[in-house]
Structure 1
């Protein structure tokens, strides 16, 4: 998946600003992350739900990797300095423009001085706000993605999340569209449904007992409150047992499913470390990792086994659809 994170505006582009009035629970500038930095010990980071983020960008005709705002749970409030087209997609978080409901998975014109206010998620965890033409912010190691633990990226390049008073430079082109638009309802994710997530077995999978692998797929796993952008911890009254040992750490990536001695799996997410020593059962499908990122604490998920052919075909369709700007 490509990323377009240039901090240089095209010649002749009119620049505007979005002012953060309230940052909400956790709001960050994200894109599709840092490609090729794992070998330096730097996490990829990037959006937690690439599908919803790609739709937000598509609605305003941006490339899918264009930086946008990731809003966790809600509570964000911002004001426009110039007329600007925005789009919102992802979690069912009510959004109001000067008190008027703008709807989810939609594109709308935000006039100078207007205030966009987000409520709190009814289903899902994260929503994405894209601006037509993108934010004009310098990248760090090839991306704008915010990584708090590493102190990298974001508005000031130091990994800070968005704060009250932050001014986000962005493209302002009121003539970009003649009307608003919405994603087709068939393309919108229903986050209220318990998801079944696809897993590609690998790593140390063959070293697990067959019965333990079957238990992993048969169980309904509960998302732990001890979950963040680094990893989703899962729990069950009957965790996995007879966990194989690993004497050497190995490189890992987002989506890796670690099985610690407790037997409760950990699914690594966007801000995960680059090395790990727990045995690996496999990897979560990249798009299903985004779906897992939208599951609230104490809700359940299930897993099914998938194949590399399915994963490759799905990701090719994803790229074909979102890399072509409509």
Structure 2
């Protein structure tokens, strides 16, 4: 019993909540680039919080069901069709054996999460099913989905049919402001360079992937060219020799030697990962305390968003 991959789309990866505690052996975290959409998809389906879903980047995924189950898609505006009929995102839909599920190309945002009730049954590697293609680990043979792949799942006719009200859904635009916690290397950036960094607008380049988003704009100078390689946190903002910031994401390398001006708040990095090349990014400094407050408030909101049941 499974969903069979007819067309894999541009980049479709099996992801759970991520691979934690393994950086000491050189394995990065992986996991969903947009944890909010990922979590809401699992909540709507009644799954465990970290159940395995498919992260669909840009669209083009076509699946065929060989099982009766419930299905939900959350995230970017990626038109969903079941047997050619339009279906709403952020809503659980019944699916029967033989049904064809298609996700068209995104019109706003670029990452969506497709899940089934109970999640996909993928054996964990080093504590997680998350796919990291660079490391060839997780998912199905450590690679993106391919035509003919089978996504194993259980039959489920009993999961409640629910939806998230439109007013409570995230909306994806073409710009984002990243709140930044300055790091211990910030003093290596002269005051003028810091002001330039926080006052300037940057453009998302076409050199972006799950490792990091490269930005283009006013170059930022540092009084050191490099440092001894050290561990790198999620959201770290590296400034390489060309002065163009790189915001590091889930599949980042575990160590690096570029100076870092700070780390972006994870809530905002999720919005960054929904941007496509040409979108704009600005930076805003915040304190560690403000970051903690924002995270706690967002977590509380996510856990308490009301879900509404409906009849088919």
Which TM bucket (shorter chain)? over 0.9
Q: Is 1:58 paired with 2:38? A: no
* Aligned partner of residue 134 in structure 2, secondary structure: coil
Q: Is 1:123 paired with 2:108? A: yes
Match of 1:247 in 2: 227
Superposition pairs for residues 26-175 of structure 1, below 5 Å? 26-155=11-140, 158-175=141-158
Work out the CA distance in 2 between the residues paired with 1:26 and 1:246. 33
Show structure 2 runs of 5+ residues with no match: 308-312
Match of 1:6 in 2: none
Would you say the 8 A contact 1:62–1:133 is kept in 2? yes
Q: Is 1:194 paired with 2:179? A: no
Q: Report the Cα offset of residue 310 of structure 1.
A: 2.5
Match of 2:186 in 1: 205
Match of 2:310 in 1: none
Match of 1:224 in 2: 205
Match 2:276 to one of 292, 296, 310:
296
Deviation by residue 1:236-257 (Cα, 9 ceiling, x = unmatched):
1x31124533331111022110
Work out the CA distance in 2 between the residues paired with 1:213 and 1:219. 10
Would you say the 8 A contact 1:58–1:322 is kept in 2? no
* Aligned partner of residue 43 in structure 2, secondary structure: helix
Would you say the 8 A contact 1:200–1:284 is kept in 2? yes
Q: Report the Cα offset of residue 187 of structure 1.
A: 2.6
Show structure 1 runs of 5+ residues with no match: 1-15
Q: Report the Cα offset of residue 205 of structure 1.
A: 0.8
Q: Report the Cα offset of residue 167 of structure 1.
A: 0.9
Work out the CA distance in 2 between the residues paired with 1:149 and 1:24. 19
Q: Report the Cα offset of residue 64 of structure 1.
A: 2.5
* Aligned partner of residue 229 in structure 1, secondary structure: coil
Work out the CA distance in 1 between the residues paired with 2:290 and 2:16. 25
Q: Is 1:182 paired with 2:167? A: no
Deviation by residue 1:96-153 (Cα, 9 ceiling, x = unmatched):
0111111122211112111111110101111001111111111000000001110100
Match of 1:3 in 2: none
* Aligned partner of residue 133 in structure 2, secondary structure: coil
Match of 1:266 in 2: 246
- TM-score normalized by structure 1? 0.90
Work out the CA distance in 1 between the residues paired with 2:39 and 2:84. 26
Work out the CA distance in 1 between the residues paired with 2:108 and 2:303. 28
How many residues matched?
306
Higher strand share: 2
More divergent stretch after superposition (238-247 vs 227-236): 238-247
